[in-house]
Amino acid sequence: MPDAKVTPLRRRARSGYTDTAALNDIHALLTTGDPGDSALADIALVLTRAGRPMVAARDIEITTTETALGWPVACAQAGDTSVFIRQAPAGTGLLIEIAAKTAAELDALTVLVAVATIVLCILASVYPALQAARLRPVEVIRYE
């Protein structure tokens, strides 16, 4: 996503044009036939009239398909990253796959997953070990 200047939200003066009216106008612009090229400019005018800034957002496309076995697969695509969600073939859980289109993004995702895995393993082993270290061996043996 390219860098964009974002105007911070600030208190706006009360006007007769409410957010609900602005949403209704935007809905009318988008649902009456083909919005056309001027729709973005018209939406900007509606937001300006309501006192709200336009903020750049990332396009996210979500689609669903089926596997050869007829199981549903959801695909969310944002920029160069795709997330596939489907049922695990060997069980009832979900299988989530993250795919990147560039080598740099794939490397970053690999490092992120590796670091998250190491941190989780350390936390899952250190906490019980600390709890066990605080116990007196005589007390533990007595109740077995």
Summarised one tens digit per residue, pLDDT across range 8-17 is 555 555 557 7
The amino acid sitting at 122 is: I
Tokens 């007390």 sit at which residue? 139
DSSP 46-110: HHHHHT--------EEEEEEE-TTS-EEEEEEETTEEEEEEE-TTSSSEEEEEEESSHHHHHHHH
Reported pTM: 0.37
Contact between residue 64 and residue 72 where contact means Cβ atoms under 8 Å apart: yes
- The pLDDT, as a whole number, for residue 119 is 92
Q: What average pLDDT does this structure show over 115-127?
A: 91
pLDDT at 4 over 80: no
pLDDT confidence bin for 98, thresholds 50/70/90: confident
Domains of the chain: which residue ranges? 1-57, 59-101, 102-144
107 vs 115: CA distance, rounded Å? 12
- The residue that leads in pLDDT, 2 or 66, is 66
Number of residues that this document lists for the chain:
144
Question: In the chain, what percentage of residues exceed pLDDT 90?
Answer: 8
Q: What average pLDDT does this structure show over 102-115?
A: 83
The total of other beta-carbon atoms located within 10 Å of residue 127's CB is 10
26 vs 42: CA distance, rounded Å? 8
Cα 72 to Cα 75, 81, 114, distances in angstroms: 10, 20, 28
